[in-house]
Structure 1
Amino acid sequence: MSREVRIGSKRADDVSGKASTRGVDTGAGVRAVTLYTTNPHGNFTLDLGEKKHGVRSHLRFDGVRWATGAPTELEIAGRCTLAEYPENALAVVLDDGHGGSASFTAARGDGTFVVRVNVTELTAGEWTGELRLGDWSLPLPALPKKSAPAKWRRRGLPWYAKPVPGAGNRFALQVARTNLVKAVAGKLKA
């Protein structure tokens, strides 16, 4: 349910009339609330429920890459221009397509965010993902096609994570244990 109500046009000189959207925790989830002034009368108006001011337009990605100095961590960076939102509400959620999921909370900056995904925590599979803020979500951008795979050892065995070939413009990360027979055969051919 949403309702538009004018609050009035009288305000102090230091109160801006520029639209200011916030994500507010209502106990039942995060809800969008925007305070703005109408044009041309300058009446303060409260937009509850995104009737005129959407949340998704305040979220955008700057890129996905392997983190510098941490070769097994994906770094997903972007901007969030909401005036405010609840702590720990912005996160990347990954899904392996078989019921497995993993969530990584965003670290906030001044209008920016960074999410670091430690791929060594993921099980074997093909992972897709999205950025979530309450009920809002945006699909993650595709991984750079030419990026080298991340490599690590789990219980003494070699593992890797790399972009899924043929994923197109969607985020798809393949996590798997290295096939030792293929790896040795490849070394012998070289």
Structure 2
Amino acid sequence: MVIDYHPSIIVMLNDDDKSNESCARYWSDKGVTTFGSVSVTTLSVSERRGFIEREIEVTQNNPKYQFIYWPTKAEERRDRAPYLLNLMTEVEDSFSGVAEGFPVLVHCLNGVGRTGVFCTMLECIAQINEEDAVDVFQTVKMLRNERMHFVETEEELAFIYELIKEYLSADEYEILSVPIEDEHTYGSVDSS
């Protein structure tokens, strides 16, 4: 995929568990790693808040990011949301001002869970910045048309809402309360 599409950024959303062989390591800590006719050279490594940035050379020099603080428990969502937002900001900054069609490769173990959360959040952030509003349901629905099973679980959806909340509070958006009407289309709600 890297050879075919020449992404300028690669985002890996897996933990770097060397004992887990299901997650292939396509870089070396130092020097060159060879995969058939493709050589991958690690040019630089820098650890940031919640992620590692690697500049590697495959066919061209591009930063590759690996997110290392994905929440595995519900109580970790709030603490780890700022770290994923830092990574998203870094990715957005890397392709701001570049022409449309700028390729970003995002991957995780199954290609849908963490990747779906990440891509959904990039779309939600774009909606917030362009429209001052966000529709998570429609965004997930749109992305699922392209890649079935994006955002697979309630936990992933809850993490998206936690990320949005963190994003809005970090940028000091005013969060308006939604008034409860006496009559609802979808059923009776006690307004007290």
Per the normalisation by structure 1, the TM-score is 0.25
Per the normalisation by structure 2, the TM-score is 0.25
Structure 1 or 2: more helix by fraction: 2
Structure 1 or 2: more strand by fraction: 1
